[in-house]
Every structure is written in structure tokens, then in C-alpha cells.
């Protein structure tokens, strides 16, 4: 499947505005899957020149300390900045991006309405990948704006499928996606930390405990992807009455495991909505191009 998709986006030039962890993951994934050659990927950021130089040294991509060369060269602009920097970046690119370009925002919590109000008719797609893009295993959800066509959405889908799985959702569900899969890797890493520390506390060598915990996660995930059974069924299969697994799950459930997870994801989704209110362009306020 990937071979046809990779060839179909081979002539694109992508410009990353923001050179943080998400941009790094996307660049690594796009190059690792041979979606684009290094000279077809540009990156810039606000002030961290050392970070830019590191990306160029690792990947051989094009870098620029200022945005105009990137905006001129790229057909697809990826906004990968922190939410608090959204208004500043929109002010810098408004009036410069062209209608034939596509803007893809991976900024958590900033709604299409705010982006479109600033960008005035430019096609915009919101994407919520996660940092597993760096190992070609991201889970990405996409939501298209009013000016984005089916072809724009197919292009964005091909890009993000090259670094994992990509689905299309309504924009009103993106905050939940952010909470579930965007922030999700951190939940998994925290679980592995806890399992590793527990194993070490009970006598295992620390590195051995980590190795066992990581492989357990990999195996369980593979079982889920290769089995038609749902997680509940797979859990029941390994939970013998009166056995060790039942004893462990009893502790988790007594401590409200499922409720804690739901509360955590709910709070993350709520925070995404708060960020939209804090950092988006207010109603009636225009983003003015910087001169």
C-alpha cells in the first residue's frame, strides 16, 4: 500500500514552521518512508538556531532562520508551533501564503475557524498525530476546513499514512483525539515506567525489568492488531479465576483504574478546549500581516 502512496507525493515540498519534537518526528518519518528527499523538506523556527542546525545535520533538510524562503518554496505548510505562538505565526504568514498552497496545522487545541479567519481563504487541514511518527507508528486524525478539497484531504492522508495510521474525523472530535492518541504515548510511557520500577523494587535488575515491560507491551499491542478479538476478550483469556492476573486486576479495579483513565483523557480533552479559548484568534479580531 505504501509504495503507491509514497510515489504519489514524491514531488511535494513541505515546509515545517516550528522545529520541535513533532516536526522532528514527522521529518524522520517522511524520510524513513522515502516519501520525500531531504531537499524537499524545509524547516524554520522562531529563535533556536541550534535546533535548526541539528535537524539539518541529522537529516540533510533545508533550513532557514526566516520564513519567506520557506513560504516561497513549499506547496504544503505545516504549522508545528506551540499553541501560545499561534497568533504570532499567523501574523507572519497571513498575506504571504498563497491560495494554491495547503496549510496543515498540528497545533493542539486551535480550531479551524480561528486558522481560517486569519488565513482568509487558504485551504487548511487540522491534523493530530503523535510523536510515534518518528518510528512510522503514529495515530493521526485529520479534519478538513471549509476551503480544503477532497484532493487536499487525500494529500494530507497520504503524508500521515507514511508515518503511521491516519483517519478522518469531524473537527468537534479532535479534542478527544488529542486527549486519547495525541497525548496517549505519554500514558503508555508512564505505565512502562511504573511496571519497570515495580519489577525493580521486587528484586529484578532495573534494565531487565524495563526490557520485560517493553516487550510485554509490544506483544500485547501485536495481539490486538492481529486478532479479531476486542481488548476485553483478550484480557479475559489471560485472566484465570483465582490466578495472578486476576489478583493484579483486582487491585487496579479497586483503585478505580478505568475511572482514572477516563478522567485523565477527559481532562486532557478539556485542556485542549481551554487552549483554543486562550490562544485562538478572538471573534471579530483580525490577524494583521506583519510588515
CB of 246 closer than 8 Å to CB of 76: no
Residue 233 falls inside a structural domain: yes
User: Same domain, yes or no, for 35 and 101?
Assistant: yes
- Checking if the pLDDT of 162 tops 90, the result is no
- Checking if the pLDDT of 256 tops 90, the result is yes
pLDDT at residue 276 in the model? 80
Residue where a domain stops, chosen among 175, 204, 220: 175
- Where does the pLDDT of residue 288 fall: very low under 50, low under 70, confident under 90, or very high at 90 and above? low
- Checking if the pLDDT of 2 tops 70, the result is no
User: Same domain, yes or no, for 8 and 103?
Assistant: yes
Domain that holds residue 249: 184-274
User: Same domain, yes or no, for 258 and 167?
Assistant: no
**What's this model's pTM, rounded to 2 decimal places?**
0.85
Mean pLDDT, residues 112-137: 93
Residue 290 falls inside a structural domain: no
Per-residue pLDDT reduced to its tens digit, 272-282: 888 888 765 55
User: Same domain, yes or no, for 164 and 257?
Assistant: no
User: Same domain, yes or no, for 243 and 148?
Assistant: no
| Distance (Å, whole) CA 237 – CA 143 | 37
- Checking if the pLDDT of 145 tops 70, the result is yes
User: Same domain, yes or no, for 97 and 168?
Assistant: yes
Per-residue pLDDT reduced to its tens digit, 204-234: 999 999 999 999 999 999 999 999 999 999 9
- Checking if the pLDDT of 286 tops 60, the result is no
Q: Which three cell numbers stand for residue 116?
A: 481560517
Residue 121 falls inside a structural domain: yes
Angstrom distances, CA of residue 196 to CA of 27, 62, 277? 31, 40, 39
- Assign residue 148 a region (left: φ > 0; alpha: ψ between -120 and 50; beta: otherwise): beta
Amino acid at each position: 500500500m505504501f509504495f503507491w502512496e509514497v510515489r504519489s507525493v514524491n514531488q511535494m515540498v513541505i515546509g515545517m514552521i516550528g522545529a520541535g519534537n513533532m516536526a522532528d518526528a514527522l521529518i524522520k518519518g517522511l524520510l524513513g518512508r522515502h516519501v520525500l528527499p531531504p531537499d524537499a523538506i524545509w524547516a524554520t523556527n522562531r529563535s533556536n538556531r541550534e535546533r535548526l542546525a541539528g535537524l539539518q545535520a541529522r537529516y540533510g533538510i533545508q533550513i532557514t532562520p526566516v520564513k519567506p524562503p520557506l513560504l516561497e518554496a513549499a506547496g504544503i505548510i505545516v504549522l508545528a508551533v506551540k499553541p501560545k505562538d499561534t497568533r504570532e505565526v499567523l501574523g507572519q504568514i497571513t498575506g504571504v501564503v498563497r491560495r494554491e498552497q495547503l496549510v496543515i496545522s498540528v497545533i493542539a487545541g486551535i480550531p479551524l475557524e480561528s486558522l481560517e479567519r486569519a488565513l482568509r481563504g487558504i485551504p487548511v487541514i487540522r491534523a493530530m498525530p503523535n510523536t510515534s511518527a518518528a518510528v512510522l507508528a503514529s495515530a493521526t486524525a485529520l479534519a478538513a476546513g471549509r476551503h480544503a478539497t477532497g484532493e487536499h484531504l487525500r494529500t494530507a492522508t497520504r503524508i500521515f499514512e507514511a508515518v503511521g495510521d491516519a483517519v478522518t474525523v469531524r473537527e468537534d472530535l479532535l479534542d478527544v483525539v488529542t486527549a486519547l492518541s495525541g497525548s496517549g504515548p505519554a500514558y503508555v510511557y508512564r505505565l512502562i515506567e511504573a511496571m519497570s520500577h515495580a519489577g525493580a523494587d521486587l528484586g529484578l535488575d532495573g534494565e531487565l525489568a524495563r526490557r520485560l515491560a517493553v516487550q510485554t507491551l509490544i506483544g500485547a499491542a501485536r495481539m490486538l492488531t492481529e486478532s479479531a478479538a476486542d481488548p476485553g476478550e483478550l484480557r479475559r483469556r489471560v485472566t484465570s479465576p483465582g490466578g495472578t492476573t486476576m489478583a493484579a486486576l483486582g487491585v487496579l479495579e479497586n483503585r478505580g483504574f478505568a475511572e482514572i483513565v477516563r478522567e485523565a483523557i477527559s481532562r486532557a480533552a478539556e485542556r485542549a478546549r481551554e487552549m483554543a479559548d486562550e490562544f485562538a484568534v478572538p471573534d471579530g479580531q483580525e490577524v494583521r500581516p506583519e510588515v
